[in-house]
Structure 1
Amino acid sequence: MSGPKGTRLRVKALPAAAVVTATLFLTGCQPAATQPPPAGIPTASETAAASETATPETPVLRRTPDPGTTAGVSAAAPRSVHFTAQGDVGMGKDAKRVLDTIAGLKPQLSLALGDFSYQAGKEKEFCAMVAEKLGADFPYELITGNHESDGHDGDIRNFVQCLPNRLPGLKGEYGTQWYVDVPEQNPLVRIIMVSPGIKFQDGNKLDYSKNSPRWLWTAAAVDAAKAKQIPWTVVGMHTPCLSIGKYDCVAGKDLTNMLVEKKVDLVLTGHNHSYQRTHQLSLGNGCTALVPGTFSAACVKDSDASMAKGAGTVFATSGLGGAGLHPVKEDDSEIRYFATWSGQNRRAAFGTLDVTATPDRLDARFVPAEGSSFKDSFTIEKK
């Protein structure tokens, strides 16, 4: 476990070329005083990286040392990557049933999409619950939710200490903004995790508006995955934009449209305590942008459950990790973007999204916890 709360990160000196490249990248787009430059900015060739120093204006987030190869995630593993994703967990019996479901699926890692204990001062107890169910060294990889980002229902700085990064090669601010290639060598998936739309301890939201440093960081991470010919790109965050749930476009239309324009394969969110999965969406003729609160048929690229790689983006809210359920709004104007959903008032369930990626195919399915029956499945395949 790393040092006491608030410890600053040690920063290794960067090569001169990397410093010059990172400086040029940020010229002309400096953030306001409350929005420091993000850490770990990649370029298309990934030859540059920005400083990972935490500033007084940024939540102090601890970057754990790369622990080396973890069980089930290595360059020598079979050519598939298997992970789960869920947010909005809590510490009750339903949360424990979902963790039991994850354990039974035996994934190589799990993406925790924010909102963990829902109780201040319970971080260690939450971490112990996860470790008991999944194993002390299991890669349960965190991105903050709004309940721990500002410390009022737990503190992300404490969660990243007791559930540290277990994946080799992670770059960025673990817990807030980071990416990792899995496996580290000859990767099949780049996972990019960001934190738009939620307040931190200074009361400010991180800026993911168009051409902001964090928007550019995310865009560069996506572009670099394509430059490396990594088969699949998955972006995760706590907040959604497209939504038929309690919360609307919290993540912001700028970030959302950039991910669709770049044809990210899969975008994962929580925040709404429900499951919501869209059709495959794409920009093009008749759909220059997704507009929150409206529907455009021209933005729907594929409406069945078998989709083509590179044709568009699927959004999946997987917020059924164990906290109390939210209803879905079946009269919402955006509902025609969605293929299926589960919430308090329709096919109520708890469970996790289960994803397996091979070089040519990504298979995803919602797996219900014991006592629930709702299911969903879809594929994205190179054709």
Structure 2
Amino acid sequence: MTEEVENGNVDSIFHIGDISYATGFLVEWDYFLNLITPLASKVSYMTAIGNHERDYSDSGSWYTGPDSGGECGVPYETYFPMPTPAKDKPWYSIEQGSVHFTVISTEHDWTEKSEQYEWMKTDMASVDRSKTPWLVFTGHRPMYSSLGADDQFLETIEPLLLNNKVDLVLFGHVHNYERTCSIYKSECLAMPEKDKNGIDTYDNTNYTAPVQAIVGMAGFSLDKFPDDAPSWSLVRISEFGYVRAHATKNELKLEFVNSDTKNVDDSFIITKK
């Protein structure tokens, strides 16, 4: 990634939760911040909060495990001041080029009629698709994973994605890479077709449902997949890497780059006219 930034190929980086795994040890934050300085000093480094930054019992987090080691989001919000509405309300949206990003916190109340839920509804409904034709929704915990997910989160938030014609959903939390069909309620409403280069291409001209991907393979120990893949899971890779994305008015292309080999191990395109 440093090489790509230095070559001028990167406009922005998104790190969607589980930032440093410091869990209360500030020296780990120092170490991590030093590691990302060659990147974050040159391009915008946008983040979402994860369980290892926020979750702790009796702290107001939606999930009550001890995963933050008592940090409760304080170091995270200090080191990564995002354009959020207020302290301990770490959800926001930004626009870059032809893409509107809606960034949520899966670690705060997202249930129907909660403050964050109402914000999501308003934010996505207000997107000017003539200005930013692509709508990308992102947060930490996934809706779909071969290793399981929170059914309540899926049932509550997924209808908002469909109603607002979200094109792409990106999550972390699970430490691997997994890509779905155009999915809603665990069913494939559309499948990609191969283009002339053999790349999976989703045609969103006649919108059906979002494509969802887990991109949690950037550094912590990898999670292996179970033997059986769900019918909606099209690609599963348990290797270290990152996703490289490029957007124009009519095309959104993503590539999974293997950190060890620098090969593109998966790529897909979403198009619209």
TM-score under structure 2 normalisation?
Answer: 0.80
- Is residue 185 of structure 2 the alignment partner of residue 302 of structure 1? no
Note the C-alpha offset of 1:139: 1.0
- Is residue 138 of structure 2 the alignment partner of residue 236 of structure 1? yes
**Structure 2 partner of 1:319:** 216
**Structure 1 partner of 2:48:** 143
Unmatched segments (≥5 aa) in structure 2: 56-67, 194-199
Preserved contact between residue 99 and residue 135 of structure 2 (Cα < 8 Å) = yes
**Structure 1 partner of 2:64:** none
- In structure 1, how many angstroms separate the alpha carbons of the residues matched to 2:157 and 2:16? 17
Aligned equivalent of 2:265, options 375, 378, 381: 375
- In structure 2, how many angstroms separate the alpha carbons of the residues matched to 1:103 and 1:155? 31
Preserved contact between residue 123 and residue 159 of structure 1 (Cα < 8 Å) = no
- In structure 2, how many angstroms separate the alpha carbons of the residues matched to 1:143 and 1:377? 24
Note the C-alpha offset of 1:193: 0.6
Q: Which amino acid in 1 is paired with 2:177?
A: Y
Unmatched segments (≥5 aa) in structure 1: 1-98, 199-205, 283-289, 344-348
Note the C-alpha offset of 1:103: 3.4
Aligned equivalent of 1:212, options 114, 134, 151: 114
Q: Which amino acid in 2 is paired with 1:158?
A: P
Preserved contact between residue 260 and residue 281 of structure 1 (Cα < 8 Å) = no
Instruction: Write the deviation string for residues 37-82 of structure 1: whole angstroms up to 9, x where unpaired.
Output: xxxxxxxxxxxxxxxxxxxxxxxxxxxxxxxxxxxxxxxxxxxxxx
Report percent identity of matched pairs: 23
- In structure 2, how many angstroms separate the alpha carbons of the residues matched to 1:160 and 1:207? 17
- Is residue 2 of structure 2 the alignment partner of residue 110 of structure 1? no
Change (3 A) 1:328 1:249: farther
Q: Which amino acid in 2 is paired with 1:172?
A: P
Aligned equivalent of 2:231, options 315, 336, 341: 336
Q: Which amino acid in 2 is paired with 1:179?
A: S
**Structure 2 partner of 1:161:** 78
Aligned length: 248
Instruction: Write the deviation string for residues 345-375 of structure 1: whole angstroms up to 9, x where unpaired.
Output: xxxx111111111111111111110247561
1:180 match: secondary structure: strand
- In structure 1, how many angstroms separate the alpha carbons of the residues matched to 2:79 and 2:43? 12
**Structure 2 partner of 1:287:** none
Q: Which amino acid in 2 is paired with 1:234?
A: V
**Structure 2 partner of 1:128:** 34
Q: Larger relative CO (CA 8 A, sep 6+): 1 or 2?
A: 1
Preserved contact between residue 142 and residue 160 of structure 1 (Cα < 8 Å) = no
Q: Which amino acid in 1 is paired with 2:41?
A: A
Aligned equivalent of 2:94, options 169, 173, 180: 180
Matches within 5 A, 1:1-383: 99-100=1-2, 103=5, 106-119=9-22, 120=24, 121=26, 122-131=28-37, 133-150=38-55, 151-152=68-69, 156-165=73-82, 170=83, 172-173=85-86, 176-183=90-97, 188-196=98-106, 198=107, 206-226=108-128, 229-245=131-147, 247=149, 249=151, 251-282=153-184, 290=185, 295-296=186-187, 299-304=188-193, 305-310=200-205, 311=207, 312-332=209-229, 335-343=230-238, 349-371=239-261, 375-383=265-273
Change (3 A) 1:353 1:173: farther
Q: Which amino acid in 1 is paired with 2:266?
A: D
- In structure 2, how many angstroms separate the alpha carbons of the residues matched to 1:163 and 1:171? 11
Between structure 1 and structure 2, the one with the greater Rg is: 1
- In structure 2, how many angstroms separate the alpha carbons of the residues matched to 1:253 and 1:173? 27
Change (3 A) 1:180 1:370: same
Change (3 A) 1:212 1:161: closer
- In structure 2, how many angstroms separate the alpha carbons of the residues matched to 1:363 and 1:173? 33
Q: Which amino acid in 1 is paired with 2:47?
A: L
- In structure 2, how many angstroms separate the alpha carbons of the residues matched to 1:251 and 1:372? 34
Change (3 A) 1:153 1:320: farther
- In structure 2, how many angstroms separate the alpha carbons of the residues matched to 1:235 and 1:370? 28
Note the C-alpha offset of 1:189: 1.0
RMSD (Å) for aligned C-alpha atoms: 2.6
Change (3 A) 1:325 1:101: farther
Instruction: Write the deviation string for residues 199-249 of structure 1: whole angstroms up to 9, x where unpaired.
Output: xxxxxxx22223433222112111111466421111110000111126554
Preserved contact between residue 246 and residue 326 of structure 1 (Cα < 8 Å) = no
Residue range with higher mean Cα deviation, 313-322 or 143-152: 143-152
Note the C-alpha offset of 1:127: 1.5
